[in-house]
Chain A
Amino acid sequence: MPTQGDFERAAGEFDRSAVLVDEMFLGPHDLLHEGVLVGGLLTIELSLWFDHLRGTLRNRADDLRDLAATCRRRAETCAAYQAALGEFDSANDVYEGERRRWAVQADAHALMPDLVAAPGPAPRRPEAPPTPPDWVSANSH
């Protein structure tokens, strides 16, 4: 499973590639319009074709930006899950300590009810974070 770091790295790469794809045909396009060919049907034809290709490549660049956005969203989801998991782990550590103390006091109270006070209600286990989507990895990097 990709990690938050993988998604962030991929988002950066998709964004950078989108810019390059956008500009990819700028060179030939500008060269033609600078007057390397003057007049004639071939010039008109190539000019039309270059314009068409630039438009199509712009769409492909948008596709890459969409992929980058998906990666960023997933990276955020991974980070949020990681944070929730960290909070859960801390709360769980506290819970385990309280539970052990409670168990000791409950055992002592059972043996010597006159000497040891009743332990009160048992501590409650913290709620685990909701199950993340399949593509979430618990490793942060």
Chain B
Amino acid sequence: MQPEGVRLLADRLVATADLADVLALDIGRAVFDSELASSMPEIMRGLAGELVQTGAVLRGRADTAQGLVLDLALQTSLLSVARSVTIDAAACRLGASTALGFDSPCDPVESIKLYTVAAGVYIPLLAVTGLKLDASYMVRVEHLHSGRLRVTRIEEGAFGLASSGGMDSEFHTGKSTTTTGASAKAWIEVLLAHGTTYEIGADELDEFMASDLLDFAARRFTLPGVLGQPGAVTGITKKVVGVVDHLPLWKAHDAITALRKRLNWTRPQPLSQFTEGGVTAGVSAGAGLNPLGPLGPLASLVKKIPVKGKVGVSLNGRAVVGVEQRPDQKTYYMDVRGEVATPITYRLFGLDLSKLAGAELKVGLVRDTATGDFSRIELTIVAEIGKNIERHTAVIDLRDPETHPAAQQLVDGLTNPLQLPDSLDALEKLLGHRVTIEQATLRRMDKSTYGMEWMGNGAKFTVETLDVR
């Protein structure tokens, strides 16, 4: 131990701290003059404080002639000095693409859960033709990195014509589907969908669901007499909750608790709302497979093992135009998607051999509400193969002076069908520069369906889990 040397070092560190303090002032003045953003003055002040602290620790060490190398106070002090001059990497990247799709790069989506209740009716009119009506209620729950939830409720209705031959039925029980009979179908429908997105706390999902379903019921069904009065549903719910709470055998405590909380829970203001309309069409053909044929001799054994299958193919497409509204902007978009599914589905011991491929293209034009100017174009391409979903988004900033002429040409072209070829040229120019690209990979981790279908009639409840990588 060399106390004098340690003391000298301690003094030199304190002198360096004085220099850091002076620099904090000088740099602060330059930052003030230039109006640039910089954390350097704070860094210098922090460094000065830590150096004084380290100097004191070293001096104390010299005074007590301490020879210990494993000195916690000194280690902590040295670490603090090192930390004070280190600038953490930015936690997220903010830019022109901040407000789309997987909205916030600062709080990215980590997983998604989709809850869907869907029902369909087929009314035969002629020999093989009839009316088809479909409705669905979907809740999309995005789990954000911060623990908060972004929830989107989507209501969709479709009405059209269908042609159907054969006879089949399907029973969905979680991950297993039992198919009997054979049929071929084709349909075309006009659809209308409306969605609203909210952001809620991690523990508010039950309240949101209960509140939303009660509101949905209140909106959809015309309640007779006194039941139709404002607040009547809430009043009845209160009574139902009270009665059910007293039933000793009733164990649905979660649902009841959620309902009870719902009565005192206020839903936040929506982040965004969209309305879209378009056409959906598709064809499908399939037949239930019995474990016979080559397996015939093993029929008795097969009856004891879970073999369920279906041979079939399904193609469907959907094209919509819509408007999404946020407080500060409006997006006009066109969304086209197609899907080819299950040339063969066969489940053996729970192993899913089905195949699925899909693609989606969405083009959006974003307009600032305050200025009325178009600010950017968003292009999203989604490719789905099996359980993997690849999502690519390109954002073109229209306010950039370099891109402005081509952007204006594109906007003119999109609003005037006669100028469409010009707008394609403009798009090509725009893609050449100033494009922000984002990419996300999703993987379908789990899908369970409950319900039944019989010749186009039926109801299903589906829960799907996706992980974002």
In the complex formed, the residue of B with least CB distance to A64 is: B40
Chain A contact surface mostly: helix
A57 touches B85 (CB 8 A): yes
Which positions 250-293 of chain B face chain A at CB distance < 8 Å?
none
- The answer to whether B82 touches A52, judged by C-beta atoms less than 8 angstroms apart, is yes
Contacts A27-B16, A41-B69, A56-B86; A17 near B26 (Cβ below 8 A): yes
Docked pose: A16 CA to B389 CA in angstroms? 53
CB of A21 within 8 Å of the partner chain: yes
Residues in A1-51 with C-beta less than 8 Å from chain B: 1-2, 6-7, 9-11, 13-14, 16-17, 20-21, 24-25, 27-28, 31-32, 36-38, 40-42, 45-46, 49
Cβ proximity bits B13-44 to A, threshold 8 Å, 1 near / 0 not = 10110011001001101110111101010011
User: Interface-forming stretch among A67-75, A79-87, A100-108, A115-123?
Assistant: A67-75
Q: Which of A13, A32, A52, A53 contacts B9 (CB 8 A)?
A: A32
Asked if A96 CB lies within 8 Å of chain B CBs, one says no
Which of the residues B9, B27, B69, B78 comes within 8 Å of A14, measured between beta carbons? B27
**Do A42 and B69 touch (CB < 8 A)?**
yes
A20 CA to B2 CA, complexed, in Å: 30
- The reply to whether B34 and A10 form a contact with Cβ atoms under 8 Å apart is yes
Assess whether B145 is interfacial by the CB under 8 Å rule.
Answer: no
Q: Which residue of B lies closest to A56 (CB)?
A: B85
Residues of A close to B44: CB separation below 8 A:
21
Q: Taking the nearest CB of chain A, how far is it from the CB of B334, in angstroms?
A: 33
A63 within 8 A of B: yes
Q: Is B6 an interface residue (CB 8 A)?
A: yes
Is there an interface contact between B16 and A60, defined as CB atoms closer than 8 Å? no
Say yes or no: B8 contacts A31, CB within 8 Å. Answer: yes
Please name all residues of chain A whose beta carbon is closer than 8 Å to the beta carbon of B387 when the two chains form the complex.
Answer: none
Q: Once the chains bind, are B34 and A6 in contact (CB under 8 Å)? A: yes
Contacts of B427 in A (CB 8 A): none
**What is the minimal beta-carbon distance from B276 to any residue of chain A, in angstroms?**
37
Query: Can you name 10 A-B residue pairings with CB atoms under 8 Å?
Result: A2-B35, A11-B34, A13-B26, A21-B44, A36-B2, A37-B2, A45-B69, A49-B78, A67-B40, A70-B36
Chain A residues proximal to chain B, CB less than 8 Å:
1-2, 6-7, 9-11, 13-14, 16-17, 20-21, 24-25, 27-28, 31-32, 36-38, 40-42, 45-46, 49, 52-53, 56-57, 60, 63-64, 67, 70-71, 74, 135
